Structure 1
């Protein structure tokens, strides 16, 4: 089964490499940093323990497996329909009036006004640049795309505001998770980033995401909802060390796949702060206490190598990292497969 959600740092493209180095036999799959869940969903094992320090991610996985999934589906579908309406607005004298009817949230008109003004400036800037080079101005259709993106952008910022209110209230109900999911799908490069006040602040991805469907994963979510392996999966949320402690560092016939935040680049995976080098050391020490077969997949740095080179087996491989926000990650980096077997 494929993944249910777009997740920065997801490991779908590495599944072939992961399987190459997995132990031949094991009883249970354990994921302390489940993230996008590429491995456990692909393996479809009826014995899986999945943990993450994102309460929203784990609540999402739990909701998919319960009757609340159908309410989640209804909310996501409603927001999808709002975006479809925005993308089909006729560009005429009634454009703004019709756009304002799409969403009734108190902040929508404010965001819509801001986004329209921004697009007017952008259109003028593009046309000025084209005039200097002797090119034709934007066509009517190109201008229409800009205006419709102003509406989808305004919708995104409403969704983000609703999500932030729920996030800060720690609601963790179906409405909260539905807006969390939608914002994750539409945020620039699927990034997760929070301000110092704890608010999600990634901007809308823009025109390139206008064609992104919010409902394209609902079918696979429903498949997961109905799958025996998914129904038998145990989910936990919290710090990885407490997860290991809860299960007495796991059994000798368990396979633990560890996909932690990297030593550099994307370390801020939630609103509570960075995964520090002290946490990397704590992770190494926690893994050493386990009698299970453990595989760690991580970006290579001198620090990570120094942590594991004495007591673990290390293999290297290359991958192209797809997210490059503000040049914080090189596109071609070396990664490590680290095992205790």
Structure 2
């Protein structure tokens, strides 16, 4: 495959930023065992200014993962537990009357942060989900006609429990499509789980990350430099065509009733560029596209009911698509 035109050498600042971001995996591993793929996904989301949907059973350290990641990047993080009685103002903030001044003042909601952990986002009603969706899209809160921009960087990390649906409000496709990536948080292997037990036996406290040795290894400035470098990553025309062909193939798959939208193709392009840059290249290869395809597309497609009954999974369908669409050379 012909290498596209691009910068001959990445600036030294971009190399330093990439090195700093690579250190995140080792730093997060001091508190969270065996989640390198999720950490990489979080880095990609920040580089692409996108949001993440995390799916995993309770007890796999999703909250600890986000807190540790934020601490290693020196970013502010807040957690919001979504419940059926949560109101939009509880997310965005609201005007509060101050009797001392006889005036209304704005009290910021938890969205005024860098990393918002929206825990069990599908447990809140559609009205509150819509408020979160607006914040994700606009990156600002408007109250009484006054826009209030959110801190930068800002991403939402929403979680879902894949095995418990009682009392939930499934996220609509329009909202799912606005998450850049959907990452699965797997159960640890036996050796990893032994490591977790040994750490707790030795006195590890998940509420005290400093005592666990977690320190800042990268900053928002590194992310800003990395974001600019990702924007300069070249993509050859055959690779652009490959991304389009993959998304179009999901729309005609017999196992799917909903395929990936053009927004999905854009997400696949952006995340492939970030993956390529983190790998030390200034151009995207088809393998970069394949590496991020499942995470970028699995929440944008919907299985047919008969396929679900047969035990087909979205990842299996995407694997079939990746295996049948011709790879450019």
The two structures have a TM-score, normalised by structure 1, of 0.30
Structure possessing the higher radius of gyration over alpha carbons: 1
